[in-house]
Chain A
Amino acid sequence: MIHWQVILPLFIFLIIIFAIGFWANKQVRNSDSFLQEYFLGGREMGGFLLAMTMMATYGSASSFIGGPGVSYNLGLGWVLLAMAQLPAGYFVLMILGKKFAIISRRYEAITLIDFLKKRYNSNIVVLISALSIIVFLFASMTAQWVGGARLIESLTGLNYTVALLIFAVTVLVYVIIGGFRAVALTDALQGTIMIIGTVILLVGTIMAGGGIDHIMGSLLNENPQMLSPFGSDGSLTPLYVSTFWILIGLGVIGLPQIAVRAMSYKDSKSLHRAIIIGTIGIGTIMFGMHLIGVLARPVTPGIEIADKVMPTLTLEVLPPVLAGIVLAAPMAAIMSTVNALLMLVSSTVVKDVYLNFINPKATDSQIKARSFWVTTIIGLAVVLFSLNPPELLIMLNLFAFGGLESAFLWAVVFGLYWKKANKYGAISSMIVGLVLYIAIYQLSPNIFGMHSVTIPILASLITFVVASIATQSKSTIDSADF
């Protein structure tokens, strides 16, 4: 069945996003520095825009669809775990902060890899970084894309292929023509929808459930452990939950799609505002959506498929037009993640691979043409893979988050704050982090009761420090950068 009142708000949302894309394209055509404009939006973002694009890039399908589904089954313990994401709002911007903004301007860096290349002066660092960004983020882009298409499919009743094409055409058009500026502006719209949608659904669910007291009472009757921090089945141990602070809080510094945003804002006032707005935004969404999952249990009992909790609940407790607005939120979350990844993979191919290794002397018009083409081809390739996602891609997507963090976290942090950090440290820690992460994930995911990212992050830290100190005599660094 097709619910037209639900689809209308979604449709209006898509139209506005198109309009933003065309407007941003004007800026791209009028800019005198194409690369900086297309891939960084001219470093002009203000505080609100920065906060929204950080939040929207970070919040993905899992915050709106997957997460509430897990809360539905595990209870308040999973909301506790989700709150480990709060540091993603302030810690990331405080650590990268002013240092990254100043240094990336000094290095004239457009991408995270630009920064690493000039800091460590090593082509191997560039190659490992580019390869891991392209491989991992291409895979996670495909996963998000599949999620977006599935969501449209379940909301509209269209078949998967048509749903995929609608989703793909919308995203591709505005990203390709508008570049980073379109991505950031649509992120602001999408981020706002994500916050508003969360609040509406939270209020609607509490009302439908007859108040918090009543809902908590029903949960207590069903299974008292739903109210404990340990999860309905006791599986959420303090150690396990605590190690999520590394994966979804602190380690986020190492995600290239997040880090690149920390070099695109205008001035320090923007940074300060973004930290406050972003923390409030991330806090609201992560707390709200995951709590909604728990509250949904007495309101709409017996949902077997976790991913259906959020859409089912929305259609059940809200009037159709409001439901349309709320269901635009996960769509917005998926789009705003996908658009950042597409931009990042494209900038990696154009700036870090093509301009570094293939044609360093490319003219401005060549770069322009290549950028549009590369973005288009990558986008179409993702669509093609999403039609029938290969096993390998699904597996790579599972590695993406932790894999990128294991590879980049220390290279970025030490690159900024430790004078003695050198390329030997960076290369060895990247390799150790990546290999160990994939090995642990494959062989024993929750080794010693911790999330699989914990040991690789610690091991790459130690490797970095030891290798850098051991090779001090071989490297020199311009101390003006410290």
Chain B
Amino acid sequence: MKLKDARFKIANREALIGVVLVIINFAIWFGFAYGLGSGDPTQYDMIFGFPAWFFYSCIAGTIFMIILIWIAIKVFFKDVPFDDKEEEV
């Protein structure tokens, strides 16, 4: 019987971060799209030529997510060996 593997704690935490990120992603995507886009299309505010809902939900939101993912990886993601033999006991 091996001891409980410390690497799995890291893996579980990183999976949870993935879930949190996807919830944030969905909230931004949904909130801007239907929050700003539900009115009359002829009355839309335009940003850089795009309807505001589209700009925030699909363009700014995507760029924001990429930056957030990058930060999450730099700050929270840890390097671990994958092979059992390299494991420190």
Instruction: Mark A residues whose CB is within 8 Å of B.
Output: 76, 79-80, 83-84, 86-87, 90-91, 94-95, 97-99, 101-102, 105-106, 211-213, 215-216, 220, 224-230, 238, 242, 245, 249-250, 267-269, 272, 275-276, 279-280, 283, 287, 417, 479-482
Given A94-B17, A105-B84: A224 and B49 within 8 A (CB)?
Answer: no
**Cα–Cα distance between A93 and B40 once the two chains are bound (Å):** 39
B25 touches A86 (CB 8 A): yes
Given A98-B80, A229-B33, A276-B70: A245 and B26 within 8 A (CB)?
Answer: yes
Residue of A at shortest CB range from B79? A268
4 other A-B residue contacts (CB within 8 Å) besides A87-B22, A98-B82: A94-B21, A224-B40, A275-B69, A279-B69
| Binding site secondary structure of chain B | helix
Residue of B at shortest CB range from A286? B62
Residue of A at shortest CB range from B39? A228
A283 touches B78 (CB 8 A): no
B11 touches A98 (CB 8 A): yes
Is B1 located at the chain interface by the 8 A CB criterion? Answer: yes
Q: Residues of A contacting B38 with CB < 8 Å?
A: 229
- Give, as a whole number of angstroms, the nearest-CB distance from A254 to chain B: 15
User: Taking each of A224, A228, A287, which has the highest tally of chain B beta carbons within 10 Å of its own beta carbon?
Assistant: A228
Name 28 A/B residue pairs within 8 A (Cβ), A-sorted.
A79-B58, A84-B29, A86-B25, A86-B65, A91-B21, A94-B17, A98-B82, A99-B8, A102-B5, A102-B80, A102-B84, A105-B83, A211-B49, A216-B50, A216-B51, A224-B40, A227-B51, A229-B37, A229-B57, A238-B33, A242-B26, A267-B79, A267-B81, A268-B80, A275-B69, A276-B70, A283-B62, A283-B65
- Give, as a whole number of angstroms, the nearest-CB distance from A365 to chain B: 27
Q: Residues of A contacting B83 with CB < 8 Å?
A: 105
A76 touches B29 (CB 8 A): no
Total interface residues in chain B, CB < 8 Å? 54
A225 touches B30 (CB 8 A): no
- Give, as a whole number of angstroms, the nearest-CB distance from B71 to chain A: 10
B62 touches A287 (CB 8 A): yes
Q: Residues of B contacting A212 with CB < 8 Å?
A: 48-50
B29 touches A228 (CB 8 A): no
B22 touches A279 (CB 8 A): no
Instruction: Mark B residues whose CB is within 8 Å of A.
Output: 1-5, 7-8, 10-12, 14-15, 17-19, 21-22, 25-26, 29-30, 33-34, 37-38, 40-42, 44, 46, 48-51, 53-54, 57-59, 61-62, 65-66, 69-70, 73, 77-84
Q: Residues of A contacting B17 with CB < 8 Å?
A: 94
A80 touches B57 (CB 8 A): yes
**Cα–Cα distance between A242 and B42 once the two chains are bound (Å):** 25
- Give, as a whole number of angstroms, the nearest-CB distance from B69 to chain A: 5
- Give, as a whole number of angstroms, the nearest-CB distance from B8 to chain A: 6
Q: Which of B15, B29, B51 contacts A83 (CB 8 A)?
A: B29
Q: Residues of A contacting B49 with CB < 8 Å?
A: 211-213, 215-216
- Give, as a whole number of angstroms, the nearest-CB distance from B66 to chain A: 6
Q: Which of A102, A220, A268 contacts B78 (CB 8 A)?
A: A268
B80 touches A99 (CB 8 A): no
A287 touches B82 (CB 8 A): no
B66 touches A283 (CB 8 A): yes
Q: Residues of A contacting B82 with CB < 8 Å?
A: 98, 101-102, 105, 267-268
A227 touches B44 (CB 8 A): yes
Q: Which of B48, B50, B53 contacts A229 (CB 8 A)?
A: B53
Q: Residues of B contacting A99 with CB < 8 Å?
A: 8, 11-12, 15
Q: Which of B18, B26, B33, B40 contacts A80 (CB 8 A)?
A: B33
B54 touches A76 (CB 8 A): yes
Q: Residues of B contacting A101 with CB < 8 Å?
A: 82
A480 touches B18 (CB 8 A): no
Given A76-B54, A99-B11, A417-B12: A276 and B66 within 8 A (CB)?
Answer: yes
B22 touches A249 (CB 8 A): yes
B15 touches A97 (CB 8 A): yes
**Cα–Cα distance between A117 and B15 once the two chains are bound (Å):** 23
A224 touches B51 (CB 8 A): no
- Give, as a whole number of angstroms, the nearest-CB distance from A280 to chain B: 6
- Give, as a whole number of angstroms, the nearest-CB distance from B26 to chain A: 6
A480 touches B66 (CB 8 A): no
B11 touches A97 (CB 8 A): yes
